[in-house]
Structure 1
C-alpha cells in the first residue's frame, strides 16, 4: 500500500503558500497568459479558465481543445468549490483511502471530478475567492501547469 502522506502534505502546503494579497481582472490576465506561455514552451495544448466569485475573468483554448475540456473544467471547479481544496488534492486523498470521490462523498460523476487541474484562487486573509483551472493534459500535469505559473507570479507580488 502506497503512503500518500508526503504528497498530501505538499499539496496542502501549496494551498497555504500560493495565495495572493489581492486579485484583480488584470491579475487574472497576467496569470492566464503566463499559463498559456508555459504551455506553448512545453508544446502542450490546454484550456485555461480563471474565475473570481463565479465570474469568468479569463478563458483560452488552444487548438485541439473543445467541449470535452469544458466539461472537465466544470467538474473540477465543482470539486474545488465543494471541498475547498485543489482537485488534485482530492484525487490523491481519495486514492489514499482506496476509494473514489463518487463512492465516498456520494457526488454525481457527471458534475464532479477528483482529477488534477483546478486550484483554489486564494487571497490571504480572505480565503478562497475563485478557481484557476487547466484541462487538456494528465491530471498531475494540469495541476503542475497551474502551480508552476502561480509560483513566479506570486514571488513578483511580494
Structure 2
C-alpha cells in the first residue's frame, strides 16, 4: 500500500470514528470554543466555522486572519457538502488521481476548495449534517487541528456523544 493509499484510508477511518449521536447549538458553541482554545495554545491564528444544515452556529476569526479565510471556509464547506467527505480527503483523492476538482467534476475552483480544513459533521445513523472548518494554516495542519479537537471533544462529552 502506498503512502497516499494509507493516508486516504486513514482519512476515511477518521470519518467513521468521529461521529455524533446528536449535535445542537450549545454543542457547537462548546466545540468552537475548544477549537479556539487549541489554536491559541498553539499560537496559530485561524478562522473557525461550524455549520449545521446551512445555518452557521459558530464563527470566529482570530487576530491575524483575513477576509480570505472566510472565502476558504466557504469553498471548503462546499466540498464537504457536495461530496460528503472531508475537504482534505477529496483533495488528496484528486491529487492521487492526478486531476483537479475542475477537470474531474467540471466545477469551479472559485466555489470549491479541495484543501484540508473542513470536516463533515456526521450524526451516526443520519449522515453528514454540516461542517466543522478551520482556515489559516497549511491544509494538513488545518485538518489535524479540527480532527484533534473533535476527538478530544467526543472523549469529554461521552454522555451525549458516542464514538465507534
Look up the match of 2:87.
87
Q: Does 1:5 align with 2:5?
A: yes
**Which 4+ runs in 1 deviate beyond 4 A?**
none
Q: Residue 16 of structure 1 corresponds to which residue in structure 2? A: 16
**Structure 2: gaps spanning 5 or more residues:** 159-164
Distance 1:139 1:102 in 2: 19
Superposed displacement of residue 156, structure 1: 2.1
Q: Unpaired runs of 5+ in structure 1?
A: none
Task: Give 1:99 deviation, angstroms.
Answer: 1.4
Describe the superposition over 1:50-102 as per-residue Cα deviations: whole angstroms up to 9, x where unpaired: 00110010000001212101110110000110111000000110111111112
Q: CA deviation at 1:152?
A: 1.1
TM-score computed with the length of structure 2 as normaliser: 0.93
The aligned counterpart of 1:63 is 63
Query: What secondary structure is seen at the aligned counterpart in 1 of 2:30?
Result: helix
Q: Is the 8 A contact 1:3 1:96 kept in 2?
A: no
**Aligned-residue CA RMSD (Å):** 0.9
- Count of residues in correspondence between the two structures: 157
The whole-number CA distance in structure 2 between the counterparts of 1:23 and 1:75 is: 23
Counterpart of 2:124 in structure 1 is 124
2:34 aligned partner: 34
Q: CA deviation at 1:3?
A: 4.0
